[in-house]
A and B are shown apart, each in its own frame.
Chain A
């Protein structure tokens, strides 16, 4: 029953994402074709041609119907700037983003949870104060600015644009090393910002458990302090923290947009920037629907994972 409710909720959210995506870019003041061709020499005939090409001259309900039916086939429309299906463009850019976001999230989760546990276990210690202070400060730091700063401070140590050099040898090892070299600065930027959030979440989650009676029992049994922490406190506190990692996926998406823009990392985030500078409404609409759906799915996973990891939730 609970599962059905969750699935239904997520399905409804996906429908709302699709509807929002449609109306946000249709019910806008002004003509989309005029905005998209601004700054380029276009005649009225060319604009009319574009309008019919993108189906903008048809009544709204017809447009909506064709939007819905093509969405169900996985067709996100045609990009105005790339003149290709939006789904193809997105698929092409997905790899680099998964690489950047995946690497950074893994490092950030590991580091953040470890720091959070250490800070909470010795509450108000010098380490706790330093870690909390740094995290709060990092939370206030705009991601893009941190990226620009790192780029300026490290100078020529790391490449700061793109994902690979054109003159790298074509064998796998050289290519992989080159990509890893390019990955350093963007992933450090993303880790710094996201890690702070995870650290604070883990810290407060463990603090909630600190006075639980089962810890008193564990200590009364004569367990060493770090065994109490590792075997008893952390396994209980890590569950909500892990779920929150999935729940804050939107944060990672936002971080990826600005980080990729600063470092010209050829992923979805940079595609967002391309789409908004165009402006390319069709591409932006596809990206909105795609990323929002991804976040909805991640949230559903978080929900389901929580039920599996923590049997106490099912009772409620």
Chain B
């Protein structure tokens, strides 16, 4: 196994563990443990035998917050990435397949969104729309589809220039046939790689929006924990147990998605 494959496998293993924690974890936590009004522990406790990762400013266990937050962070990351890559693939295939005005207009819009600073637009969107998970997912997806669109378009153009597509056209294959039978299968591997890498940046973006206070106020995510930490002065109080776990979790999961994405990329596009 090459170094690349090993890194990819390690990344995949991390993701399996994270997914298990996110799915099973919340089932084992009683609602009382995370209810600010019902917790009994003292606030700002450093890690000990009872609370492995200490407690936050209200006395909730940071370890439980981390488990509860995993689901939100992963869910937003995954759905936003799938939505973004879906939009990107659709725009890419359409602008690659249909030439002329349609392609010109789609390309123009893609380039425009590619240039716009994603975080700025995401902030604007999540400020004007009502707070909630849907808004976050939408804001991330609407700002991160253009790179996929460019790549899928390039791939579509290469495929459509090949003789077998010309043959399919000559035999009477329509748009649906060419796109469904020839373009789509060749685009799928590329889209998968893109989706994996897109999850990584979507998770970072979610944590940034949540940190700025634009997250869903009713849900705990890793970024939202850091927002609380900043708001209630975890830094001046040196409450490292409140600050380290969410950040480390984000870095580990994002890195895992990146490594898996890069390993997949090496498989899909063998170089020289």
Contact with A along B117-130 (1 / 0, CB 8 A): 11111011101111
The residue from B118, B244, B246 contacting A254, defined by CB atoms under 8 A apart: B118
Give chain B interface residues in 205-258, CB to chain A under 8 Å. 207-208, 211-214, 223, 226, 229-230, 234-235, 238, 240, 243-244, 246-247, 250-251, 254-255, 258
Sort chain B's interface into a size bin.
Answer: 35 or more
Given contacts A143-B208, A148-B229, contact A295 B116 (CB under 8 A): yes
Write the residues of chain A forming the contact surface with B, with a CB cutoff of 8 angstroms.
9, 12-13, 16-17, 24-25, 28-30, 136-137, 139-145, 148-149, 151-152, 160, 249-251, 253-254, 257-258, 261-262, 272-273, 275-277, 279, 281, 284-285, 287-288, 291-292, 295-296, 299
At the interface with chain A, which of B76-84, B107-115, B184-192?
B107-115
The residue from A136, A262, A276, A291 contacting B258, defined by CB atoms under 8 A apart: A136
Given contacts A13-B115, A145-B226, contact A139 B128 (CB under 8 A): no
Query: Is B200 part of the contact surface with A, judged by Cβ < 8 Å?
Result: yes
A284 touching B124, Cβ below 8 Å: yes
- Secondary structure type dominating chain A contacts: helix
Report 19 cross-chain contacts, Cβ distance below 8 Å, ordered by A residue: A24-B124, A136-B255, A136-B258, A142-B226, A142-B250, A144-B226, A145-B226, A145-B250, A148-B229, A148-B230, A149-B247, A151-B235, A160-B235, A250-B115, A250-B120, A281-B127, A281-B128, A291-B117, A295-B116
B204 touching A257, Cβ below 8 Å: no
Write the residues of chain B forming the contact surface with A, with a CB cutoff of 8 angstroms.
108, 111-112, 115-121, 123-125, 127-130, 200, 204, 207-208, 211-214, 223, 226, 229-230, 234-235, 238, 240, 243-244, 246-247, 250-251, 254-255, 258-259
- Residue of A at shortest CB range from B223? A142
The residue from A152, A250, A285 contacting B243, defined by CB atoms under 8 A apart: A152
Given contacts A143-B208, A250-B117, contact A29 B214 (CB under 8 A): no
